Structure 1
Amino acid sequence: MEKLELIIDQVEQDGQHLAAGEHVSGPSADEYRARVERTASFEGRVVTSAGSVERLLEQMDPAIYHGQGMTCVWRAATAVCRKAKLALGLPDENTPDESECRSSCTNLAYTDRDIENVQRRRDRHQADAADPLAPKPRRDRAVAQAEQLSQIITRHRDCGVTDPGRGPYD
């Protein structure tokens, strides 16, 4: 029941952000918007048994997972994290594994909320890169990480300028 409540709350919040004009980029941006819209139209049901909760979860769950600086619009067939786990002989849990997430995954979408998180991480890396007391290899790594995050931010912003809601990821 708690998972169902979490999904309903999350989708409601996502729908409110989209309605307020939140920009979404990434390869799964269109699918993210479609799933939020489809699930946000849920008007509620009376749940009287555990079986009802399970059936409702199957129907309602948009399989959208918010992570740190990214959102996974889960599709098992295209999930890079799932392929990595299977290649290692690990069990398939049919949910994302953020520790195996790769920027090349087509399941990714970036909301404005995600980009705010990415900006904070980039700022920390830039500060580390400018630290004169840090060893050079650490500063060099921080520069590379900040640049990678800057590219994500730029692509998110650029795709909103040329064609709202679409861009180099789409």
Structure 2
Amino acid sequence: MTLSYAGNEDASWLQDVAVEKLELIIDQIEEDTRLLEDGEHVSGPSAQEYRDRVTQSAPFAGRVVTGVRNAERLLEQADPAVHHGQGMTCVWRAATAACRKAKLALGLPGADAPDETDCRSTCANLAYTDRDITDRDITELQQELVHLQADAADPLAPQPRRDRAAAQAAQHLTIIERHRDSATEDGRGIA
């Protein structure tokens, strides 16, 4: 339906997607580079990989793009496969992606990009930046932690609900402690 909207067979608008994605990636690399240079703190299992990819992708002198295929080719070269999400950054590597492994275990096709809806706190691809975990986020996580701990200790709640609340509380606590500890270790604070 959308490829031939209202009977129009012209799908040239799809060509704009590649150019728009390239512009997004370039803007993101510039922002990531600027923040790292300003001392942004990064923690998590893929923190060093995040720094390396941003540093390697940073020098972009600009190019003239005259066709969609040129934009797609440039995108393949420029894309560091860093995906900023809510409360985390995924430094995508298909071989270590927990969301992809979970899909494959269920017999579903593995994706070529992260699935934020199935993100797992144990994933080796995760990095946490100051944009992901700010003081506001830490405060929110701590507030949620209090509620989750109360739910885990509620004797009237069914056992599966208490177990799930306890597991989520442990995840929240791990994220908070890991980011704070690594911020202290490298001498940087949390923004």
* 1:149 matches 2:169: no
- The runs of 5 or more residues in structure 1 that have no matched partner are 166-170
Computed over aligned residues only, the root mean square deviation of the Cα atoms, in angstroms, reads 2.5
2:91 aligned residue: 73
Change (3 A) 1:118 1:4: farther
- The runs of 5 or more residues in structure 2 that have no matched partner are 1-18
Change (3 A) 1:53 1:90: same
- Cα distance in 1 for partners of 2:139, 2:65 equals 41
Instruction: Choose from 56, 60, 63 the match for 1:45.
Output: 63
Change (3 A) 1:119 1:140: farther
Identity of aligned residues (%): 63
**Contact 1:80–1:101 (8 Å) recurs in 2:** yes
Moved runs in structure 1, 4+ residues, more than 4 A?
A: 127-131, 138-144
- Cα distance in 1 for partners of 2:64, 2:89 equals 30
The structure having more radius of gyration, on CA atoms, is 2
1:122 aligned residue: 142
Q: Deviations over 1:107-149 (max 9, x none)?
A: 1101111112354243244357679xx9953788657634531
Instruction: Choose from 52, 56, 59 the match for 2:74.
Output: 56
- Cα distance in 2 for partners of 1:141, 1:122 equals 17
Change (3 A) 1:6 1:119: farther
Q: Aligned residue pairs: how many?
A: 163
* 1:86 matches 2:104: yes
Name the TM-score, length of structure 1 as normaliser.
0.82
- Cα distance in 2 for partners of 1:35, 1:111 equals 14
Name the TM-score, length of structure 2 as normaliser.
0.74
**Contact 2:148–2:168 (8 Å) recurs in 1:** no
